[in-house]
Amino acid sequence: MTPSQIELVQDSFAKVAPISDQVAVIFYDRLFEVAPSVRGLFPDDLTEQRKKLMGTLAVVVNGLSNLEAVLPAASALAKRHVNYGAMAEHYPVVGAALLWTLEKGLGDAWTPEVAAAWIAAYGTLSGYMIAEAYGSAEAAE
């Protein structure tokens, strides 16, 4: 990610921060619409889940300019997700639902540059989490 992409992600996330509860509601609605099979992995009541997701996203977004600092937490998060039943192939689905949600939340502020910056950010994070949780063929001995 370039420094200007990091800035775009941070600035756009700041714009939806005041409506983060709605963002989380829209995100899970969208996720379960496109991937109904993952609904059963989550608790029935998503109230706490919504807060945790948005809180973690805020930490990661703020940490983009100093990625090394957030990687240990991202690794631990990824490993916990194995126990939640998350699979590597779920990550792109979650990413698509997240981007779709941000697009709705940001309206006109969702420009092609902002979209590209978020794609880079989610790609970096999810690529790292997948590698940490599921490893490469060599690592999985």
Residue 28 touches ligand HEM, criterion: CB under 6 A? no
**6-43 burial: b if 16+ Cβ within 10 Å, else e:** bebbbebbeebeeebeebbebbbebbbeebeebeeeee
C-alpha torsion sign, points 2, 126, 130, 72: positive
CB of 114 to ligand HEM, least distance (A): 18
Contacts of residue 93, defined as CB under 8 A and 6 or more positions apart, other chains included, come to 31, 34, 35, 38
Q: What would the two tokens of residue 21 be? A: 């509860």
C-beta of 72 vs 107, nearer to ligand HEM: 72
Taking CB under 6 A as the binding criterion, the range among 7-15, 20-28, 75-83, 110-118 that sits at the site for ligand HEM is: 75-83
Residue 79 touches ligand HEM, criterion: CB under 6 A? no
CB of 57 to ligand HEM, least distance (A): 6
Tell me how far apart the alpha carbons of residues 89 and 59 are, in angstroms, rounded to a whole number: 24
C-beta of 8 vs 94, nearer to ligand HEM: 94
Taking CB under 6 A as the binding criterion, the range among 3-11, 65-73, 82-90, 133-141 that sits at the site for ligand HEM is: 82-90
By CB under 6 A, name the binding residues for ligand HEM.
Answer: 38, 41-43, 52-53, 56-57, 77, 80-81, 84-86, 90-91, 94, 125-126, 129
